[in-house]
Amino acid sequence: MIKSENRKSLLFLIGILLFILLVFSFISWRNKELNILEVSFLDVGQGDATLISYLGKYQVLIDGGPSGKRLLQELGKQMPTMDKKIEIVILTHPDFDHLAGLIDVARSYEIGIFLDNGQKADTEIFKELENVLAKEEIKKNLLFEGSRISIGRYLNFEIFNPDEISGNKKNRNENSIVLKMVFGNNTFLFTGDATSKVEGDMINKLIDLDVDWLKIGHHGSKHSSSQEFLEKTSPRFAIISVGAKNGYKHPATEVIERIKKQKITLFRTDKLGTIEVFCRVPTKECATKNN
């Protein structure tokens, strides 16, 4: 049996350890709170998944990558431990490498609302996602050109593609949701797998495409990120979400050359893993750890 004096010493030691743990947790939480906006281009292999965290408590997840297990691992690193709710999930288009991971997310997290372009896919994985969303009774709605989302005072989204009429295009990539995010003076463009045709359509509509950060379309495919589009968006930074040594040979050499020609700083998930962009106040530039 433990003597009374030893028991008191043990309890005192446990109390000290718990206090230290609480202090470190508080410091970690405060550091997280200092980043008013965090945009994490998650390393999910050959696919897309981006987590946007606002004020440390509102999350927007754009796409889910090809693996639920890998996505959940990445979300576990980025989200607060006790936060099991993602306020908004956006599926840009129903391709496997964008939607598969969302099935496990729907089973593991509370989702406030699920947004997509309304396009169906005759695949088992898409049917499974629809069944899970229905089973979990997750609210759904559509996004198309002109749709807007606002969260708090400074965070706003505007949808540029697809237009309302094109919702039934057979080409999923051409139907991909393209959205611009504005946080004070900072701007981001998320392009899904939008093709150069979609890029041209947006340019012809005289949409304000000028941004600071560009998520390169279709993992750096040669069918996206035209020279004209890169000139119109004129980003300072670009991110390619892509898997190492993938069978598609993404990113294409010509796309990399176009990016270099525009003197855009490029970040790649296959080279750097998850890429985290931190925005501490809306009036100052966002930055990454790699800047």
Q: What is the pLDDT of residue 164?
A: 72
- Kindly tell me if the per-residue pLDDT of 114 is higher than 70: yes
Average pLDDT of the residues of the chain: 89
Q: What is the pLDDT of residue 15?
A: 60
CB contact at 8 A, 172 and 94: yes
- Kindly tell me if the per-residue pLDDT of 203 is higher than 50: yes
Question: With left for phi above 0 and alpha for psi between -120 and 50, is residue 263 left, alpha or beta?
Answer: left
Q: What is the pLDDT of residue 3?
A: 54
CA–CA distances in Å: residue 202 to residues 13, 34, 124, 131, 196: 63, 35, 32, 34, 10
Give the integer Cα–Cα distance in Å for 31 and 76: 17
Q: What is the pLDDT of residue 257?
A: 97
Cβ atoms within 10 Å, residue 227 = 14
Structure tokens, 221: 């495919």
Give the integer Cα–Cα distance in Å for 177 and 102: 16
Q: What does the DSSP 8-state code read for residue 192?
A: T
pLDDT band at 123 (very low <50, low <70, confident <90, very high): very high
Q: What is the pLDDT of residue 14?
A: 59
- Kindly tell me if the per-residue pLDDT of 168 is higher than 60: no
> In this predicted model, what pLDDT tens digit does every residue of 225-283 receive, in sequence order?
999 999 999 999 999 999 998 999 999 999 999 999 999 999 999 999 999 999 988 88
Per-residue burial over 10-32, b if 16 or more Cβ lie within 10 Å, else e, is eeeeeeeeeeeeeeeeeeeeeeb
Q: What is the pTM of this model?
A: 0.87
CATH code of domain 35-288: 3.60.15.10
Cβ atoms within 10 Å, residue 213 = 24
Q: What is the pLDDT of residue 18?
A: 55
- Kindly tell me if the per-residue pLDDT of 1 is higher than 60: no
Q: What is the pLDDT of residue 31?
A: 42
- Kindly tell me if the per-residue pLDDT of 169 is higher than 80: no
Look at residues 126, 138, 121 and name the one whose alpha carbon lies nearest to residue 64. 126
- Kindly tell me if the per-residue pLDDT of 30 is higher than 50: no
Using a pLDDT cut of 70, give the percent of the chain over it: 85
- Kindly tell me if the per-residue pLDDT of 22 is higher than 60: no
> In this predicted model, what pLDDT tens digit does every residue of 32-86 receive, in sequence order?
444 599 999 999 999 999 999 999 889 999 999 999 999 999 999 999 888 999 9
Q: Where do the structural domains in the chain lie, given as residue ranges? A: 1-34, 35-288
Rg from Cα positions in the chain: 21
User: Tokens 């410091």, residue?
Assistant: 27
pLDDT band at 165 (very low <50, low <70, confident <90, very high): low
